[in-house]
């Protein structure tokens, strides 16, 4: 009874991405859409980030989204606008927004410095969405985890290992 291996790395990454997206969507499907947009923008910017203006653009977009969600209610309150004038999606803070914002900025900086190459979209999405890391941290650089995401992974594990993990 060995672990069933699947040579299709893509299938393993898709399973991880879908499971992570479902986990994130339990909090808010709207915020999952925001995260998906941020993933896409950062992955596209990584293609051109060797030019400083694209790196600066990427950092500004990431920090702008972070500041929008973190401080919009506070700024509205300071100017006497009141939170009722703000759309509801601005009033709830996206789960782990600071974490995934800085995670993506570190990726753009690493690509711009030539420390890592821009991976395919599925590998990049898995790197950002990996749910055990997304919520708890710490920020892991792509150079530290990219090799693990590129290798073949088992899809199924032995029943005994699953039972041990499920019980404890």
Report whether pLDDT(87) > 80. Answer: no
pLDDT value of residue 3:
35
Q: Give, in order, the Cα–Cα distances in Å from 154 to each of 7, 11, 71, 85.
A: 8, 10, 43, 50
Token pair recorded at residue 62? 């990431």
Q: Return the sign of the alpha-carbon dihedral for residues 133, 42, 44, 116.
A: negative
pTM score, whole prediction: 0.75
Which pLDDT tens digit goes with each residue over 117-142? 999 999 899 888 886 666 566 677 77
Percent of the chain with pLDDT over 70: 71
Tokens of 112: 């711009």
What is the pLDDT at residue 43? 96
Segment among 47-51, 55-59, 69-73 with least mean pLDDT: 69-73
User: Please, what is the average pLDDT of the chain?
Assistant: 79
SS3 letters across 93-121: CCCCHHHHHHHHHHHHHHHHCCCCCCCCH
Q: CA-to-CA distance for 8 and 88, rounded, in angstroms?
A: 41
pLDDT range class, residue 5, cuts 50, 70, 90: very low
Banded model confidence at residue 41, pLDDT cuts 50, 70, 90: very high
101/62 Cα distance (integer angstroms): 6
For residues 57-85, give the mean pLDDT.
82
């Amino acid at each position: 009874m060995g672990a069933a291996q699947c040579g299709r790395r893509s299938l393993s990454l898709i399973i991880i991405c879908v499971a992570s997206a479902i986990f994130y969507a339990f909090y808010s499907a709207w915020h999952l859409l925001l995260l998906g947009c941020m993933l896409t923008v950062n992955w596209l910017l990584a293609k051109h980030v060797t030019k400083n203006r694209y790196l600066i653009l990427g950092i500004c977009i990431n920090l702008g989204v972070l500041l929008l969600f973190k401080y919009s209610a506070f700024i509205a309150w300071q100017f006497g606008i009141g939170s009722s004038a703000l759309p509801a999606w601005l009033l709830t803070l996206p789960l782990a927004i600071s974490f995934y914002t800085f995670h993506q900025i570190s990726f753009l900086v690493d690509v711009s410095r030539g420390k890592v190459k821009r991976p395919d979209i599925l590998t990049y999405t898995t790197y950002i969405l990996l749910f055990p890391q997304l919520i708890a941290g710490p920020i892991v650089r792509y150079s530290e985890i990219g090799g693990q995401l590129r290798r073949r992974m088992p899809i199924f594990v032995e029943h005994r290992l699953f039972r041990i993990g499920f019980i404890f």
